[in-house]
Every structure is written in structure tokens, then in C-alpha cells.
Structure 1
């Protein structure tokens, strides 16, 4: 792989980007595909409920805490190199999961999947700033948003299809083993095509900062993921209390390292970009919708008694909307300019409020009417499809390409933390309202309250985004030149 100059656009940039998008597609796919497979895994391996939770949380936690490091590794050692190393590791971890003879080998494989996915995933988003001229970045981010979001929807449906088909008698194992041929094809096709990009003045990795950042994120993310299931024990509260202390230690160290001429993993100068903090707050509100996928699955299977396949397929209208959303961004940008993001989030709020109203008007022993439910899910998906790529631009466009990997990791980690927060807090609301009952009436009521909570979070994000849209993203090139 040869070094390219970001000042002169690479002729094969779209083909390179298509290869890197695999790294954006596989991590969310493998997060969601497991949801519908858990009953089959339990039957085969005899997993306890605590082990089932670890199958999901081991992946989610390690993915979240490693994303910033993964993004910075791409800046320093080459985004193509880190992409292929992450993809190879992800494929090997997937084989370990697919061949796991016991629950604990499966959990170990899932943990390794999370780490390697975090090395692979940020490289596509970082490369948008590095290989595309400014005029092409909105389209590239739209495609990134479409791929990233569709993976979560396809994961639900594909999991149900693979388990139902029982391909070659593999059962649930097929959801992991399918990653191997995909990875091998991408590596064989991608190595001759992908040229290297990295920060112009790359130095060694900030090991102390990396360790402190991972400790701070672990202290925050692990109790959010595990706390409710464990009944909020003392260790969870101690860990949450330690998170801001560790964050302060990390920030202080990074500031000192930057002032002494070192290369921090999180450069304080880049984070001073105007509006970046508020843009990350929008990102924190944005994936309040993350818990919606889980709660809708519980509702349709617990209250409406749908099968795993039916539960997966019900997300298809959402997926269709999500596919059309990013592709509509260029057209809407010409019509309403920088306000596409708040418009998209506003459509999500409207769809969620419509769903809550529909649930209250539908007898709890019946499914909501097909066409209104389809329209609602399409509207929510379309709104998120509009908002995600414009949110990425809102965040990444505020820093120079030299920091692309760093900000890609921060953005991805923020979205992952947003998902964890929504599962912990809004999921907690759902189970509190549900209580010890599991009737159709109680599940529907708890789901309706949770939908309103999600809508409230997105409404806050919409208001923040509306204010921020009056300040278009402008990368701080001069600051980058001084710092790198």
C-alpha cells in the first residue's frame, strides 16, 4: 500500500470507500443478529440467563471502550492497514463463536469480536475526510449512514432467516460463520485496491492515554450494560462514580502531553472546534432509538406472539425508510440547507408519537393495523436515515483530516454509549412499568411509555441540532497544521 496525498483526490476513492464500508457494516450487523438467536443458543449450549446477557454485553462493552483507540491507530499506522488487521481478527473471532463448544468460549469469541470490530469500524468514517474532496463528502457520508443503519435492520431479519433455514444443519452457528467468506472475499479483492492514508505527521501511540481512556469508558459502559440485569449492585454505582474521576485524569494527562509536544490519543486542540461539544451531545441523544429495536422485538414476540422470523421481518419497513433517507439527503440539502439533521430527527419524533397514539387506540389482544404500522416504521427509518449521515458531517466536518480517525472513534463511541444509555435508562423504565407481569396488556403499556421516553430524548436532540445547524461545520485546518 502506498501513501496518498489528501490534497489530490485519489482516482479510485469510491472503490476504496466501498471496501472500507464493510467495516461499517459488519459490527452493527453482528450486534443485532444475535438478538433473535439467543433462544437457539440457550437450547444448544445450555446457557444461563446471565451467560446470555454476557454474549451481548461482552461484545458491546469492548466495542465501545476500544473505538477511540481503533480510530487513532488508523491515524498513526494507516487506515487501510488497521482495516485489514481488524477484519482478519474479526473473521477469526467469528469462527471461534461459530465453533464454540461451550458458553464461555462463545463469550470469549464475542469479546474478541468487539475489540477487532473497534479497530476495523472507524476507518471508513475517518477516510471520508482523508480521501474525498469537500464537494463529495456529503454523498459519501450519506452512503456511510445508509450502510451503518441498514446493518442493524438486516441483522434482525437475517438472524431469523438463517436460523429458520438451518443452513447445512448449522443452526445459530451460521450467523457467525457467514462472516468468514465475506472477510476473505474483501481481503482478496481489497488489498490490491486500497491505498494507505494516515495523519501527515504520525507519531507513536499514546499508551498511557489509551489505557486511561479505556478505563474511563469501561467504568461508564460496563455498569450501564450489566447494571440493570444484575439488580444495580454496589460495584455498578462505584464504577459509575469512578467514571468522571478517570475522565478528569485522562483529560489532564492528554492536555499536559499536548503542551509538551507529544501526540495525545485525544488531542485537546481538536476538541476545541466551535460547536463540536454540542454536536457530540446531539449524537448522545440520537441513539436513544437504539433500545427501540430491543423493545419492539419484546412487544411483537411477547404481546403479539410472533415467531423469530416474523419479528425480524417486521423491521423491513424501517430498513426501507433508512435506505431512502440517506439517498434523499443531497436533494433535501438543496431545499433546506443545513437543517436536514433536525428535520430527520423531527420525523423520528413524529413517528414515535404516532406509534404511541396507535398503541393506545389498538386493543391489546390485536396487532396494530398493518398499513399504519408500516407507515410509522418507514417514517422513523426515513428520519433516522436523513439524520445519521448529516450528524456524521456535523461532527467530523468540524475537525481537520489529520484528526479524522480520532474524531471517527469519538463519534462511534458516543453513539455506542448512547445506545448503552438508552438500554439502561429507557429499558429500565420499560421493566419498571412492566413489573412482574408478562401479559399482553402490561407489555403493551410498558412499550408505549418507553416509546414516549425515546421521543422525548430525540426531541432534545432535535432542539440542539436546530440551534447548531445555524453554525455550519468548518474544519480547523490551521489548528491541525500547528498540532501535527
Structure 2
């Protein structure tokens, strides 16, 4: 399939292929968000303890984050279409396990497998966009890529609320997972037909030992943050947090050793030093995706604080979705005036919107949240594609899969950390049985925390004059 018909030196089927690739972009964040409004029904049906509320969300984000770089490299080495199809098959299997789960443990295990499969599937979309589209079309393709996250974020909330409320085929919350199966059944043959196989020109052996060290270091950080508070900070949680920096240091030293000896590391240190702005941009991505915690606390605020049902909670987030759909187009226009500063502009808008939402919630005026939510969505739609391009365009084309994995991994690690940290503070301030005022106060505090992270992301993503010309095309 490497000899597909070309048009003007480019793949003639790149736009239909993009529609298929964006399905793989849509499913992972959709399944992150769709469970938020279904969590009360899941807990009730499975008689699950309180910490499952965070664990069902965060174990998915955690598995996704720690496997993403490996997923990107698998596509570079073995072919991006092949990795895309394999990841989608695994995602379908995991969705079936979640939808048929008879216990909280089985559900969490299914979510773990979902996260790993999503990490193999998702980076192939961004890497393929980078490989298939010429520079003149790449901005438009990335704009559609960014809009897909908006559709996933809000569509997940709306779809989850509708499925739980309508109780399709008497499946209840299980339908939020089983609905993936018909989508995958349609997308798989389309991927085989339309998506051209691409891979890195200098693909070499996979660094599985490095992948294991990176996963162990990340898990040792995230797991205690998720489970430590609920379990009273046992000794093992503190031991893991101490071990995390040592494991990550060992990972980095091992990567340097492999590269110095002429072998192929998972994350080549030279790829990070090609532009001194890339590490800064990746840290911005970690802070930027703290917004993931907003969707969790907003769903709880709507249901426990304002006494709305699942469908009403899903509908309440609609202005944010409208904003995320409008944002990429606004970003393309603003980029003509702001250039590389457009990402920081969008994040600044998000920070102000979050502070406004916090003030309205604290004042007991939830009816005014529509405007801050709209601005929050527009800011997200502006910032996301701009931040992705700032990072991916800083590496050479043959590192496209690696860069895609690194950017998305950084964002998903930010999601896992924010769900653990912001969600932890939220549930301390609004435990089970908390009154509406407690929940509203907890929501306001969570919004302020996320706004601080977004401000940090804006400062980190703003280009420094000395580095403005360092991006590699």
C-alpha cells in the first residue's frame, strides 16, 4: 500500500484518510470524558467504593500517558497504519470488557487495557497528518484535529448523559462503552482502504527496556497521587513517590547510553536538544491539559451540587463544546497577527474563563456559567492545535511519531496528574454526602487550581525571541 495514487506529489486520498484517522483521534478522549456523567450510575450498580470515581477516570489517563511514546515509536518502526489498526482492535476488545464488567475491578482492568490500546492508536493520527499533508494544508488539517478534541470533550458528556438517561436497550451505563463497537466495525475497513502506510525512514529496533523504565517511573508517581489519599497514605505510596524520580533518572541515563552506543532509544536525547524550546513546550503541554480535571469536577458539581440529572449535566457543558468548535478557526485567523504567540493567547483566555466560573460558582450564580464556558472552549480550540504544532514542528520529519507521542503523552500525564491532584482536593472539600454549598465551593477552588496551571502553560508556551527561529521544518 506504499504505492497509492498521488496527486501533485501528495496522497490523493489524504482528506478521506484524515476522516478515518480522526476517528482514532476521537475515540480516546471521548472515552475519557464519556464516563464522567456515568460515574454515579457505575458506583451505584457495582456498589463500588468512593475512590473508584477517580480511579475509573485516572487509570485510563495514566495508562494512556505512560504508553504513548511507545505507541508513537511502534508506528514509526512497524508502520503507522498497522499500529492504528492494531490499536483500534485492542480498543474494541477493551470496550467490550468494560461494557460487560461485573465488578469494579474488572471495569478498572478494562479501562487499563483501553488506555494502552488508545496509546497505540492515537499517535498515528497526528504522525500521519505530519507525513501525508504538505505545509500549505497542514494548518487546516491540524485545525480539524484540534476541533475533534472539542467534539470528544463535549460529545462525550452529552452522549454519556443521554445514554444513561434513556437507558438504551436497558444497558444503563454499560452503553457508554459498548457504543464504541459499531464505530470501530466501520472504521477498521475504511482505514485499510484509505490510509496509506507510512513509517520513519530510519526505523530501528524498539527499546522495550526503556519503555518499561519510563512506565514504571510514571506509574510510581501517579498511582500514589490517586490512591494515597483514599488509603491514608500508607508506606508503599510514599515509597513509590520516592522511587519515581530515581526510575526516571535511570530511564534518561539508559537513553543516553543507547544513543551514545549507536542503538535506538525510545526517546533519543538528541531529539530533545535539536531545539532548546521543545522541553519547555512539553512542560507547557503538561500544565495545559490540567483542564481534563474540569470535566470531572463539573459533572459532579452539576449532579451533586445543582441536583441535575445526567442528561442535564451533559447539556450544561454544551457552550464549551460550541467554543471548542469555533476556536480552531479563530486560531487560524489570530495566527496571522500573533504568530507563535497564539497558543499563549488561547491559554490566557482559558485562565480568565476559569476564574470567572469560580467566581460565579462561589457566589451561587450557576446560571451565568454559559459565557465562561463558551470562552473556555474557544480558548481551548485556539490553544490546542497551536501548541501541538509548536512542539511537533520543532523536530525533523522522521521523528514525527516520536514527537506526536511525546506531545500527547505530556498532555495525558497532565490529565492524570490533574485528576489526581485537583480531583483529590475537590473530594476532600466535597466528600460523599456533602451539601450543595460545599460542592459549589469545591468546584470554585478546583477552577482556580486549573487556572493557575493554565497560566503557567501560557508563560511556558510563549516563544522567547532567541528561540523563535529554531523550529525545524
Q: TM-score, normalised by structure 1?
A: 0.92
| Corresponding residue for residue 306 of structure 2 | 304
| Corresponding residue for residue 322 of structure 1 | 324
**Counterparts in 2 of 1:168-179, with a 5 A limit?**
168-179=169-180
Instruction: Give the conservation status (yes or no) of the 8 Å contact 2:217–2:248.
Output: yes
Distance (whole Å) between structure 2 residues aligned to residue 104 and residue 436 of structure 1: 21
Q: 1:270 Cα deviation (Å)?
A: 0.6
Q: 1:123 Cα deviation (Å)?
A: 0.7
Q: 1:469 Cα deviation (Å)?
A: 7.7
Instruction: Give the conservation status (yes or no) of the 8 Å contact 1:58–1:110.
Output: yes
Moved more, 353-362 or 158-167: 353-362
**Counterparts in 2 of 1:96-175, with a 5 A limit?**
96-175=97-176
Distance (whole Å) between structure 1 residues aligned to residue 391 and residue 253 of structure 2: 23
Instruction: Give the conservation status (yes or no) of the 8 Å contact 2:36–2:295.
Output: no
State the Cα RMSD in Å: 2.2
Distance (whole Å) between structure 2 residues aligned to residue 412 and residue 302 of structure 1: 32
Instruction: Give the conservation status (yes or no) of the 8 Å contact 1:57–1:226.
Output: no
Q: 1:56 Cα deviation (Å)?
A: 3.0
> For residues 275-322 of structure 1, what are the alpha-carbon distances to aligned partners after superposition, in whole Å with 9 as ceiling and x for unaligned?
001111211210122211112222222221111111111110000000
**Counterparts in 2 of 1:241-252, with a 5 A limit?**
241-252=242-253
Q: 1:128 Cα deviation (Å)?
A: 2.3
Gaps of 5+ in 2: none
Instruction: Give the conservation status (yes or no) of the 8 Å contact 1:400–1:475.
Output: no
Distance (whole Å) between structure 2 residues aligned to residue 146 and residue 227 of structure 1: 36
Change (3 A) 1:210 1:473: farther
Q: 1:472 Cα deviation (Å)?
A: 4.0
> For residues 53-74 of structure 1, what are the alpha-carbon distances to aligned partners after superposition, in whole Å with 9 as ceiling and x for unaligned?
5433432222221111111101
Instruction: Name the SS for the 1:261 alignment partner.
Output: coil
| Corresponding residue for residue 65 of structure 2 | 64
| Corresponding residue for residue 77 of structure 1 | 78
Q: 1:437 Cα deviation (Å)?
A: 7.3
Change (3 A) 1:316 1:274: same
Instruction: Name the SS for the 2:38 alignment partner.
Output: helix
Q: 1:475 Cα deviation (Å)?
A: 4.7
Q: 1:234 Cα deviation (Å)?
A: 2.2
Distance (whole Å) between structure 1 residues aligned to residue 417 and residue 223 of structure 2: 11
Change (3 A) 1:257 1:136: same
| Corresponding residue for residue 288 of structure 2 | 286
Q: 1:99 Cα deviation (Å)?
A: 2.2
Change (3 A) 1:306 1:88: same
Instruction: Name the SS for the 1:264 alignment partner.
Output: coil
Instruction: Name the SS for the 1:172 alignment partner.
Output: helix
Change (3 A) 1:109 1:368: closer
| Corresponding residue for residue 194 of structure 1 | 195
**Counterparts in 2 of 1:336-351, with a 5 A limit?**
336-351=338-353
Change (3 A) 1:206 1:183: same
Distance (whole Å) between structure 2 residues aligned to residue 57 and residue 435 of structure 1: 18
Q: 1:105 Cα deviation (Å)?
A: 2.9
Instruction: Give the conservation status (yes or no) of the 8 Å contact 2:222–2:420.
Output: no
Moved more, 309-318 or 235-244: 235-244
Distance (whole Å) between structure 1 residues aligned to residue 443 and residue 330 of structure 2: 31
Is 2:448 the counterpart of 1:447?
Answer: no
| Corresponding residue for residue 368 of structure 1 | 366
Distance (whole Å) between structure 2 residues aligned to residue 180 and residue 435 of structure 1: 35
Moved more, 327-336 or 195-204: 327-336
Q: 1:470 Cα deviation (Å)?
A: 7.4
Instruction: Name the SS for the 1:121 alignment partner.
Output: helix
Instruction: Give the conservation status (yes or no) of the 8 Å contact 1:228–1:424.
Output: no
Distance (whole Å) between structure 1 residues aligned to residue 340 and residue 389 of structure 2: 10
Distance (whole Å) between structure 2 residues aligned to residue 360 and residue 39 of structure 1: 24
| Corresponding residue for residue 2 of structure 1 | 2
Is 2:376 the counterpart of 1:418?
Answer: no
Q: 1:432 Cα deviation (Å)?
A: 4.2
Instruction: Give the conservation status (yes or no) of the 8 Å contact 2:85–2:188.
Output: yes
Change (3 A) 1:232 1:23: farther
Instruction: Give the conservation status (yes or no) of the 8 Å contact 2:54–2:423.
Output: no
| Corresponding residue for residue 24 of structure 1 | 25
Distance (whole Å) between structure 1 residues aligned to residue 469 and residue 75 of structure 2: 23
Q: TM-score, normalised by structure 2?
A: 0.94
Instruction: Name the SS for the 2:37 alignment partner.
Output: helix
Change (3 A) 1:16 1:469: farther
